[in-house]
Amino acid sequence: MDKPQIILHSQKSVNYTVFDVKWIPTSAKFISLGNHARGTGALDIFEITHGDIAVVSQYEKPSAFKCGTFGASPTREKRHLATGNFDGYIQVWDLEKIESPIYSVKGHKEIINAIDAVGGLGIGQGAPEIATASRDGSVHIWDTRQAHAAVASMEPAEGETKRDCWAVCFGNAFSSSERVVCAGYDNGDVCCLEFDRKDIEMNKLVATTLESKIHVFDMRTQHQEKGFASVVEKAHNSTVWIGRHLPQNRDVFMTCGGSGSYYLWKYNYPEKRTMTETDKTEVGVAGTLTLLQNIGLSSQPASAFDWSLDKTGLACTSAFDQTVRVLITTKLNSI
């Protein structure tokens, strides 16, 4: 009992497929995004109250939602939710006036699979920006202060085969002039990407894949031929759909699998993070992973997971059993 425990606090069934869940900053509320059977979008707001999940409000929009982020919100009190939908639109919603979006652009030709943002909520230096990744093979960067054009685009060259882009994340936002974007595609079978923190120099990157594998890259040292050092673990006996770092401890992260299982990991740094090759070049040295705890919560694949920025160990999650859940992970301060 000395190790962390993952406890199911509460759960609630919904009447649509949930693709994403996110905590609303500085609150006991979270949102869920998804699609109704009739093809419309679902946006629900829930609150944790009296040990249960209560519905605060429900909204239906013309197009199904795939993903969302609060990462470009102006402040933790002014909560702006950026979403990507099935019709390729990036939209920003003010949760106080959710009837119509405050920003809406047809950003992609096909569904937006993934979204991330930085520069809001006091996380990361520089302007608030949003990254979107789509089935059309492109990644676009958006600054909502600039009307309807992406500020940067990474797309297949003319004549190049387009690959379905499944994952995107920001990192390295430690100064107003530094920022990187990482994207994962179906030809690498990358399901999820996340830096351990966005607002520091690149440190570690977690990549989860179709083949039950979790990769953790040490991003501090890049060798000209060997690239970044990495450690690989096999887990879940299924696709690993999600990897999310604990905001209060960047060396701890949760992975969620296609079998409805949740694994809590800790990254252990090596004694030395670099070694010198015979040709005098520096090469990175990967650490190891320790499995702290695991639990099965659903017979269906997990679809989303989000740690609370405000309360260590509190998380919301969803699975394809049309259920949202709130979890509490204990003893994280003593790891």
What secondary structure, in 3-state letters, does 249-275 show? EEEEEEEEECCCEEEEEEEECCCCCEE
Residue 247 in contact with residue 275, Cβ under 8 Å?
no
Distance CA 142, CA 319 (A): 29
Residue 325 in contact with residue 300, Cβ under 8 Å?
no
- Helix then strand count (H, E) for the chain reads 0, 28
For residue 271, name the pLDDT band (cuts at 50, 70, 90). very high
Distance CA 249, CA 312 (A): 9
- C-alpha Rg value of the chain to the nearest Å: 19
- Terminal CA-CA length for the chain: 13
Which amino acid, residue 136? D
Please give the torsion angle defined by the CA atoms of residues 36, 37, 40 and 43, in that order, rounded to the nearest 10 degrees.
0
Mean pLDDT (the chain) is: 95
Distance CA 57, CA 199 (A): 33
Joined together, the tokens standing for residue 206 give: 């977690």
Beta-sheet pairing, 129-134 with 139-142: antiparallel
Which amino acid, residue 230? S
Q: What integer pLDDT is reported at residue 127 of this predicted model? A: 85
The number of CA neighbours under 13 Å toward the Cβ of 145 is 8
Q: What integer pLDDT is reported at residue 130 of this predicted model? A: 96
Q: What integer pLDDT is reported at residue 1 of this predicted model? A: 62
* Residue 142: pLDDT over 80: yes
Question: What is the distance, to the nearest Å, from the Cα of residue 283 to the centroid of all Cα atoms in its chain?
Answer: 29
Question: What is the distance, to the nearest Å, from the Cα of residue 297 to the centroid of all Cα atoms in its chain?
Answer: 20
Residue 65 in contact with residue 19, Cβ under 8 Å?
yes
In CATH, 5-265+292-330 is 3.90.226.10: no
Task: Tell me the pTM.
Answer: 0.96
pLDDT in tens, 22-70: 999 999 999 999 999 999 999 999 999 988 999 999 999 999 999 999 9
At a CB cut-off of 8 Å and minimum separation 6, what does 143 contact?
127, 128, 129, 130, 151
Joined together, the tokens standing for residue 166 give: 């499944």
Q: What integer pLDDT is reported at residue 260 of this predicted model? A: 96
